[in-house]
Amino acid sequence: MPSSADTTPQRDENKKEEQLAAFREDPTGQILTTDQGVRVTSTDDSLKADARGPTLLEDFHLREKIMRFDHERIPERVVHARGAGAHGFFQVYKPLSHYTSAAFLQDPAMRTPVFVRFSTVVGSRGSADTVRDVRGFAAKFYTSEGNFDLVGNNMPVFFIQDGIKFPDLVHALKPNPRMEIPQAQSAHDSFWDFVSLTPETAHMVMWVMSDRSIPRSYRMMEGFGVHTFRLIDAQGSARLVKFHWKPVLGAHALVWEEAQLIAGKDPDYHRRDLWDAIELGHPVEFELGLQVIAEQDAERYGFDLLDPTKLLPEEVVPVELVGKLTLDRNPTNYFAEVEQVAFCVGNVVPGIDFTNDPLLQARLFSYLDTQITRLGGPNFAELPINRPVAPVHNNQHDGLARHTINSGAANYLPNSLGRGYPKPAGAGEGGYDHYAERIAGHVVRARSPSFSDHFSQARLFLDSQSVYERAHLVDALCFELGKVEREAVRQRVIDAILVQIDPALAAEVALVLGITVSPHPTPAHSTTTLAASPALSLATIKHPSIATRRIAALVARGHDATSLAAIIRDLESRGASVEVVSTVLGEVPGKTEGGTRAVRLLLNTPSVLFDGLIIADGVESAEELASHEPAVRFTAEAFRHCKTVAAVGAGQRLLDAAGVPTDGAGIIRAQTAEKAGSQFIAALAKHRHWSRKTGTA
């Protein structure tokens, strides 16, 4: 009897064909040429004086081919080198003219094209996706008034308050300059040395040690603009704004051990997850949220809105959901699009403006400047992925790698030879007007005293975590600081940072590190105890859908193919994807006629790549799986990582062999396929069953 899983390889094949067909250029009939258009007769042998003789310098095809190869790489990004991107569009829910004049935020019928690049921060371009790190969330809106880039992260605050410290932060985070170790992680001396000496990092360190830094998927994390920006309406009135992205699938995290295992088993996990979801027809959706604050309320909240180490709790100023981003198209060519995309914080459109946040101000310089080295010159805005849809007319014509061939003799203003064009926008012609903020003061190299409370919000974040999240955070601190070799650095992190956030937290970590908290006669920093913000806990951002979740169905010879097919149908009808994993590939015979097609081998398929596990019924199948070491490991690991594990009928034999208890959260032992299916779906929607570790929900 054919099960729905039988179609999977066929579907994969069809997808591949479609992908190939999607290339814009059909190569059929093309003749190979040099870059000069000269037809090439052979590309496998270089030109030689005699078949066994020296290669000739005059072989222009060889020289060109090798020259092009030698220069295939461009400098990777200094930070955020590792990433993945997707195309899509943005639509506003209703006109936002009461906040901003930005044209793309006015008409719900208008679809603004968007390209998004997600990234890690620390690792180099070839590093693993699931490392503990901040994730970049950069969106380029190709609006009718020019490009708007919202270059954010998956955390709402940052490590430092002033951009002048960014090179120090990044040097401390990156591998040791002597031997370039360790790659893509902060669990080393220099990062924690910097933290211990830089109290303003405290709040961000709490975020990075939390589950936010090991997202399950780029599709399942929040995004934040971090800085306070300004929205300007058509009358020129300004409001302060914080930008948010809310994932429609909810926000979910990996288990730390799972993240580390995936880094070895599938370093491309997040890339692949994004790619596969879009290929399988599951668009990736985020809602755009705004926290809008009246200019006169800027000082109401007990902290400075210009300080990027602070957040504005959603319970204090709610996030207004104003539109939806849908990512529904994968890139055609990774290099041309994902690698060459150049985001720039300074890319704003009329109706959106900056504030004096000193971190933001430094970024305004950096993003334009960095492209000169990375993309080799000033004409990077002409690359297809960076080109605005709005027309471009100016006198900046020259420079390396210019594509546009400008005509006309007047490349200056004012001119009469070009009848005065291109002329600056006049009144009512959509020109960008900077907000006329009143500035008065002395030129000083100083930090505002309003930025000085580094610990109240760090404690707010900690206090807002659920029991299991706090436990994960403590474990992460112990893991990271346990790798710090210098005891003085560990001690300083405890004494100067953790104890200031929460003495109990410091004591817990110090105990594991085998050190004692130094006595502090008086608190070194004055802090305020803030009301917990439930919105900061991932536990509150669940989404009861199993759409796009990956489930492994374990089968062996003699399984009940009929009941398994019913469960698979049920799961796939809710948007989940089920992959049949077995001891052999291809058709696995069932206990009666028919069977199920296995698309993955237990031998090389780890449980960490799946969100849940279902074991088929059938005595013979269960016996074989229970005595197959990879199947037992698969099951035990899925259970240890708090995933939903289910078995139908005799399949429970494998649960027993893997040491899975008879009952508990997310453990499903059912006699019938119907029961197993419905219980499995409900349990899977909870994402993970953390109470297995902490004893609490």
Which residues are the active-site residues? Answer: 80, 153
Name the residue nearer to ligand HDE (CB basis): 78 or 507.
Answer: 78
Smallest gap from Cβ 78 to ligand HDE, in A, equals: 4
End-to-end CA distance of the chain: 41
Count of chain residues binding ligand HDE (CB under 6 A): 25
**Residue 262: enclosing H or E segment and its boundaries?**
helix 256-265
Peptide bond into 9 cis (omega under 30): no
Smallest gap from Cβ 243 to ligand HDE, in A, equals: 10
Binding string, residues 54-93; x marks residues near ligand HDE by CB under 6 A: -----------------------xxxx--x----------
Phi-psi region of 642 (alpha: psi -120 to 50; beta: other; left: phi over 0): left
Q: Which one of 343, 461, 468, 690 is in contact with ligand HDE (CB under 6 A)?
A: 343
Q: Which one of 84, 114, 138, 556 is in contact with ligand HDE (CB under 6 A)?
A: 138
Smallest gap from Cβ 200 to ligand HDE, in A, equals: 13
| 385 touching ligand HDE, by CB under 6 A | no
Name the residue nearer to ligand HDE (CB basis): 83 or 618.
Answer: 83
Q: Which one of 127, 370, 415, 679 is in contact with ligand HDE (CB under 6 A)?
A: 370
Closest by CA to 119, choosing from 279, 339, 428, 297, is: 339
CA distance 128 to 461: 27
Smallest gap from Cβ 31 to ligand HDE, in A, equals: 37
Give me the helices (H) in 578-651, please.
Answer: 619-626, 629-640
Q: Which one of 359, 567, 657, 667 is in contact with ligand HDE (CB under 6 A)?
A: 359
Q: Are 658 and 627 in contact (CB under 8 A)?
A: no
Question: Which of these ranges, 25-33, 146-154, 393-401, 471-479, lies near ligand HDE under the rule CB under 6 A?
Answer: 146-154
Name the residue nearer to ligand HDE (CB basis): 130 or 607.
Answer: 130
Tokens coding 387: 């080109």
Other beta carbons within 10 angstroms of residue 536's beta carbon come to 26
Other beta carbons within 10 angstroms of residue 492's beta carbon come to 17
**Inter-axis angle of helices 358-374 and 166-173, nearest 10:** 60
CA distance 654 to 631: 8
Residues 409-448 that bind ligand HDE (CB under 6 A): none
Smallest gap from Cβ 488 to ligand HDE, in A, equals: 28
Backbone angles phi, psi at 137, to 5 degrees: -140, 90
| 152 touching ligand HDE, by CB under 6 A | yes
CA distance 253 to 469: 10
> Helix, strand or coil for residue 676?
helix
| 334 touching ligand HDE, by CB under 6 A | no
Smallest gap from Cβ 118 to ligand HDE, in A, equals: 8
Residues 108-137 that bind ligand HDE (CB under 6 A): 117, 119, 136
Residues 165-194 that bind ligand HDE (CB under 6 A): 166
| 163 touching ligand HDE, by CB under 6 A | yes
What is the amino acid identity at position 228? Answer: T
Exposure on the CB side of residue 301, measured as CA atoms within 13 A: 23
Q: Are 418 and 410 in contact (CB under 8 A)?
A: yes
Question: Which of these ranges, 241-249, 365-373, 434-442, 558-566, lies near ligand HDE under the rule CB under 6 A?
Answer: 365-373
Q: Which one of 122, 202, 209, 226 is in contact with ligand HDE (CB under 6 A)?
A: 226
CA distance 466 to 462: 9
CA distance 148 to 102: 10
Closest by CA to 150, choosing from 407, 373, 343, is: 343
Smallest gap from Cβ 141 to ligand HDE, in A, equals: 14
| 493 touching ligand HDE, by CB under 6 A | no
> Helix, strand or coil for residue 223?
strand
Tokens coding 428: 């009512």
Bridge partner list, 87: 115, 329
Q: Which one of 90, 158, 303, 380 is in contact with ligand HDE (CB under 6 A)?
A: 158
Smallest gap from Cβ 231 to ligand HDE, in A, equals: 17
| 366 touching ligand HDE, by CB under 6 A | yes
Smallest gap from Cβ 620 to ligand HDE, in A, equals: 51
| 161 touching ligand HDE, by CB under 6 A | no
Dihedral sign for Cα 9, 261, 85, 67, please: negative
Binding site for ligand HDE (CB under 6 A): 77-80, 83, 117, 119, 136, 138, 151-153, 158, 163, 166, 226, 341-343, 359, 362-363, 366-367, 370
